[in-house]
Amino acid sequence: MTKDYYRPIVQSDVCKPKGASPLVGGKLWFTQVEKMTCGSASEVVAASDIPTEIFANLTKPRARFCGVNMQHPAIMGILNTTPDSFSDGGQHFSLENAVNGAKAMISAGADIIDIGGESTRPGADFIPAEEEIRRTAPVISALRVAGVATSISIDTRKAVVARNAFDAGAQLFNDVTALSFDPDSLTTAGEIGASVCIMHAVGDPKTMQDNPVYENILLDVYDYLEDRIAACIAAGIAREKIMIDPGIGFGKTQDHNLQLLRGISLFHGLGCPILLGVSRKRFIGTIGNAPVAADRVAGSIAVGLNALSQGVQMLRVHDIAETKQAIALWLALQFRA
């Protein structure tokens, strides 16, 4: 049996036609969708032709996620407590630098701090759980002792690392393998009451860029995330506590990345808020002629704003203040007060 997919053709003009459907309950709207079927040409159909369940997912407001309002663009700050991350490796490797870095991100406007102790850049080596815990849990504990109330995410693919992070004060289990790498991750997430962010990836960091192939990148990623959402729900994780991430750069070519970014509004059909992580990634440097990762801020913001125009709820970034400023201007230009 063929399966149909529905990508809302999102618009933001304040002159909204009568009967337009609100995208996830916000100010963006749509009247038509791209109907897609694997192996067939797509067609444009009216929003009224969407199946009831998909239409509900496309239009209903998203609940607050880890205490963060999903009806306003949100920012996740990247804090890598590693010596070898592709852009900021070593910058927050010491406890003092990590704590100060997190505080600076919060002051600049980050809504969530995402703390990771294992690099997932292409070609990165595996880090034992004990070392990953040593790099992350003390930072979370120190932030909580210092009175930091901002939500904290642990960026890990290992259940025991997540459990230690939650014991220290984290609220979000952000896993680049969608809780599939460690057989204990789903059970652990359910037991500790975690909110989760599940991402699509192919292979592991060491091999993921070795000739990735898809039948249809948009639909393949959609199906994968749909399956992982079902697995989370079966493990006792409520849909309202699940965020999805299409995994830009994780087992994807530049063309795959661009296809996902152009069609990212498709993923609203899954009924969960969407996180986008493109900050300083290689394809931005390739297209924007910026071989040094730190020089990709402008390109990262450009891609992020395009995603916001398709209703993405949260951007995962290195450059908080610059992104915050860009979002403020984007909001002022898109919508009347």
Task: Please give the positions annotated as active site.
Answer: 281, 316
- Whether 261 and 274 have beta carbons less than 8 Å apart is answered as no
Q: Which two tokens stand for residue 176?
A: 């680049």
Strands 195-199, 242-245: parallel, antiparallel or unpaired by DSSP?
Answer: parallel
Query: What gap in Å lies between CA 52 and CA 203, rounded to an integer?
Result: 35
- Whether 276 and 304 have beta carbons less than 8 Å apart is answered as yes
Query: What gap in Å lies between CA 282 and CA 292, rounded to an integer?
Result: 9
Nearest one of 274, 222, 281, 291 to 248, comparing CA atoms: 281
Nearest one of 221, 307, 200, 226 to 264, comparing CA atoms: 307
Task: List Cα–Cα distances, 130 to 117, 126, 127, 171, 228, in angstroms.
Answer: 10, 12, 8, 20, 27
Nearest one of 61, 8, 35 to 271, comparing CA atoms: 61
Q: Which two tokens stand for residue 244?
A: 């999805």
Question: If you count them, how many residues does the chain have?
Answer: 337
Q: Hey, which residues does 85 pair with through a beta bridge?
A: none
In this structure, what is the dihedral angle of CA atoms 146, 101, 105, 89, given to the nearest 10 degrees? -140
Residue appearing with tokens 């996902």: 260
Query: What gap in Å lies between CA 224 and CA 212, rounded to an integer?
Result: 15
Query: What gap in Å lies between CA 228 and CA 247, rounded to an integer?
Result: 14
Q: What are phi and psi of 57, to 5 degrees?
A: -65, -35
Nearest one of 289, 323, 324, 331 to 303, comparing CA atoms: 323
